[in-house]
Amino acid sequence: MKKNIISLAVAATVLGAAAAQAGQYVNPDKTGEVLLFPFYNADNGNQTNMSIVNTTAAVKAVKIRFVEYKNSDEVLDFNLYLSPKDHFSFGVIKDPNGTGAAVITSDNSCTVPALGSANGAFAGSTTENADGSITRTQPFVNYQYANDKDFDSSIERTLTGHVEVIEMGVVTNVDTKKGAHAAFATHGATGVPASCAGLDASWASGTWASNAAAGITAPTGGLYGLAYHLNVESAAAYGFEPTALDDWAPATYQGHTNPGSLSPSIVSGTPAAAVMHGNGGDQHAEVTFGTGVEATSAVLQTASLSNDIVNNPVFTGMTDWVVTFPTKRAHVDKTTKAAVIPPFTGNWLGITGTTTKKEQPACEAVAIGQWDREEAFTANTNGFSPSPAATTTTICNEVAVIAMGTGAASALSVTTGLTNLSFSYSDGWQQMSFAQTMTDVTEDVTLTGLPAIGFAAYKVSNGAMSYGNAAEHKTNSVTSGVSAN
C-alpha cells in the first residue's frame, strides 16, 4: 500500500487538528513539544550556555535530560516548571569541585529537585550573590554507566554530550492538598515564582506524590531554545539552535513523571510520523512505525549532511563538525534489547573480552565526499583529484566531534571523544552520506539514512582575537514507496 503525500499546512488549515493526526514532525518554525540540543561542551575551559523559552500563556511542565556522548547514558535530569512567557537560562560547565561537567544557573524558574541539592557522591552547591540572587551548581553523575557492562565509567565521560527537552504537559490550577500548582510556578511582579517549595512538597507528600497526572493536560508545544558554546581563553563563541519536534506526544500521553524517573524520554513519542518526502516545500508523507522512537528517528532521518570546510592557513582557519544521533541508544544498546533496530546496524555492547577487556561501541559506516572551491573532488587518502569514489569510514560515538585535518586541533577546543578526518585542501565543502535504511510498520515505505542533527563550527584567528561561527548541517530526505494524492 502506497503512503500518500500530504501538506501539513493544508491539513492544519482544512482539518484543524489534522497536523496531530499526521504524526510527529520537525517544525520548521523551530518551536515544539520536544527540543533536541545536539551538543554541550564543558571540556578544556569550555562552557555551553542554553536557554529554554515558553512562548505560550500556559504553565509548562518540562523534563530536561543531559546525556553523555558515547552511548547517551543519562548524566542528570530534573523537572522544570515554566511560568507563562518564561525564559529559563543555564550553563553547562566543568564541575568546580570535580572533573566532570555540571549545570549552573541563577534563574528563578522552579526545578524539582532544586538545583544545588544533595545527590550522593556528586552533591550540588548554592552561593548567595551580592544582589541576593542564588547561583546553583549541580554536578553530572555517572550512576547509569558505572557498572560491569561499560568499559569506561569515568566521570570525565560527562564533559560532552547532548540535551533532551521534553514537554510533559500543561499545569493547571487544580486544587491540591497544599495549594494550586500553576500558581506556585507563576512568577510575580518581582520575577520570582510564588512557591517552588509548594511544587517540591506536592511531589514529596502531596497530590503529585499519589497522582502525577493531577491537573496536567496534554502538551501544546510552543517551546524554543537557543545555545552558544563559549571559550574565554580562545576568545571564540558559536551559537546554535535545537531541533524542534511538534505533535510528538501520543494521544494517550501521560508524561508528567516523578523527577527521579527516566521517563518521558526520546522513546516516548507517537509511532505516527509526518516525514519529509524530499520534493521540497511542505510535502510530507504520513507513516506509522512499530514504536515511538522509530517514528522520531524517521522525522530526523537524512541520507546525507552537507556543510562547509574552512581550514585556510592564511588566517589559521579551523573547522569542526558536530554530528549527533539523538535516538541511537534506543536502537543499538544490546544490554537492554535483543537486536539492533534499523536504520542503525552496529551493536553497543559497552565492554567485551574476558582476560583483556575492551570497549565495543556501536559504529556506523559513512561515506565522505569532499570538494574544493573549484569543484575538484578529494578523497581522504590525499590521492590525485578527482578520486574515483568517496572514502568510507565509520562513526561510533552518539555525539561525534570531528576536527577537519589529520591531527588538527579542535575549533571547539574539545579533546574528549574528538576524532580527526584528513582533509587535504584549505576551503570547500563536504558531504557525509548514510546508506542505511528503515521501513514503516507495513514495510511499504523505505527511508534512507540515519537520524542525525548537528552543525559545523568555524574558527579563524586575527592576532590575539579569534572569531567563531556555526552553521547547521544541510540534510537530504530520501523516501521511496510514497505516492501523491
Delimit the domains of the chain by residue range. 25-246, 302-483
pLDDT at 289: 95
Cell of 64: 530536561
Q: How many CA atoms does the CB half-sphere of 103 hold within 13 Å? A: 27
Q: What is the DSSP letter of 473?
A: P
pLDDT at 314: 81
Cell of 332: 543499538
Q: Are 269 and 24 in contact (CB under 8 A)?
A: yes
Position 361: which residue type?
A: P
* Full-model pTM: 0.92
Q: How many CB atoms lie within 10 A of CB 367?
A: 15
Q: How many CA atoms does the CB half-sphere of 443 hold within 13 Å? A: 1
Give residues with Cβ within 8 angstroms of 149, minimum separation 6: 335, 350, 351
Cell of 142: 555517572
For residue 242, what are the CA distances in angstroms to 110, 223, 375? 22, 11, 31
Element housing 256 (H / E): none
Give residues with Cβ within 8 angstroms of 384, minimum separation 6: none
Q: How many CB atoms lie within 10 A of CB 203?
A: 17
**106: closest CA among 85, 118, 88?**
88
pLDDT at 369: 86
pLDDT at 16: 40
Q: Which residues pair with 483 in a beta bridge?
A: 4
Rounded to the nearest 5°, which phi and psi values hold at 123? -70, 145
Q: Which residues pair with 102 in a beta bridge?
A: 93, 139
pLDDT at 337: 62
> 259-291 burial, b if ≥16 CB within 10 A, otherwise e?
beeeebbbbbbbbbbbbbbbeeebbbbbbbbeb
Question: Under DSSP, is residue 153 helix (H, G, I), strand (E, B) or coil?
Answer: coil
pLDDT at 178: 52
How far is C-alpha 300 from the geometric centre of its chain's CA atoms?
Answer: 11
Reading the chain (485 residues) residue by residue, the pLDDT tens digits are 455 545 544 444 433 443 444 799 999 999 999 999 999 999 999 999 999 999 999 999 999 999 999 999 999 999 999 999 999 999 999 999 999 999 999 999 999 999 999 999 999 999 999 988 899 999 999 999 998 788 899 999 999 999 999 999 999 987 555 558 999 999 999 899 999 999 999 999 989 999 999 999 999 999 999 999 988 877 788 999 999 999 999 998 999 999 989 999 999 999 999 987 755 555 778 899 999 999 999 999 999 999 999 988 888 889 999 999 999 999 998 766 678 999 999 988 877 777 777 888 899 999 888 888 777 766 554 333 334 455 558 899 999 999 987 777 899 999 998 988 876 667 889 999 999 999 999 888 999 999 999 999 999 887 777 888 999 999 998 888 776 54
The runs of H, that is alpha helices, within 234-327 are: 292-300
pLDDT at 76: 98
pLDDT at 13: 43
| Calpha distance 349→408 (Å, rounded) | 30
Question: Under DSSP, is residue 200 helix (H, G, I), strand (E, B) or coil?
Answer: helix
Give the number of residues written for the chain: 485
Position 379: which residue type?
A: A
For residue 73, what are the CA distances in angstroms to 102, 228, 369? 15, 23, 31
| Calpha distance 372→386 (Å, rounded) | 11
Q: Where are the beta strands (DSSP E) in 241-336?
A: 243-246, 272-276, 283-288, 301-302, 304-310, 318-324
